[in-house]
């Protein structure tokens, strides 16, 4: 459980803002983020529906099979960008039996080594030097694209004891609201 409040960015501020909004929504839903600070606009901007978010999750595990072309198709459909080298959330690259991808909700990209369609290893790596920093047995990808239309609100993800602090875009004004 994080003790620091999460600052919810406004929608429409680019893919990195979508990634951060998604990370905060999931943190609220999972109970790892207890306090969110947001402008009224950011609090009212749409998020993916919680049920869609769960349905869009892709689970990858060492030893399981994955069709690389099908995974690439799901990533593109979820507005991931296919690039030569992964540098930021929402990007992926495929080179032979290696898939590099930067999950929207992760701090580091993952390298998935395949033997045919079988996942041999999953390693997190640093963007700066491509060096592995941790091995993982599994990886969950949350592939919900930014909502088009009404979508859900941040309060749909808020746990019973969660707190949203609304801040006016004008400096010096803060109002707390316990939901």
Q: What is the pLDDT of residue 93?
A: 96
List the structure tokens of 16. 């990195």
Neighbours of 86 (CB within 10 A): 23
Residue 152 per-residue DSSP state: B
Neighbours of 87 (CB within 10 A): 13
User: Are 99 and 114 a contacting pair, CB within 8 Å?
Assistant: yes
Q: What is the pLDDT of residue 170?
A: 57
Residue-wise pLDDT tens for the chain (179 aa)? 556 788 898 887 667 788 888 888 888 888 888 899 998 888 888 888 888 888 888 999 999 999 999 999 999 988 899 999 999 988 999 999 999 999 988 889 999 999 999 999 999 999 999 999 999 999 999 887 777 777 888 888 888 888 888 887 655 544 444 44
List the structure tokens of 149. 């239309």
Cα separation, 108 vs 174, in Å, equals 33
């Amino acid at each position: 459980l994080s003790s620091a409040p999460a600052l919810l960015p406004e929608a429409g501020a680019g893919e990195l803002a979508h990634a951060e909004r998604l990370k905060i929504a999931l943190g609220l839903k999972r109970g790892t983020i207890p306090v969110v600070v947001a402008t009224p606009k950011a609090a009212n901007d749409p998020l993916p529906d919680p049920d869609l978010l769960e349905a869009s999750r892709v689970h990858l595990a060492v030893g399981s099979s994955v069709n690389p072309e099908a995974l690439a198709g799901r990533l593109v459909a979820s507005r991931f960008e296919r690039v030569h080298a992964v540098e930021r959330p929402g990007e992926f690259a495929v080179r032979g039996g290696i898939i590099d991808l930067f999950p929207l909700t992760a701090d580091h990209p993952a390298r998935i080594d395949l033997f045919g369609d079988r996942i041999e290893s999953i390693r997190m790596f640093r963007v700066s030097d491509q060096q592995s920093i941790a091995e993982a047995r599994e990886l969950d990808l949350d592939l919900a694209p930014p909502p088009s239309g009404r979508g859900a609100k941040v309060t749909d993800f808020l746990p019973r004891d969660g707190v949203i602090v609304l801040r006016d875009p004008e400096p010096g004004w803060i109002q707390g609201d316990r939901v």
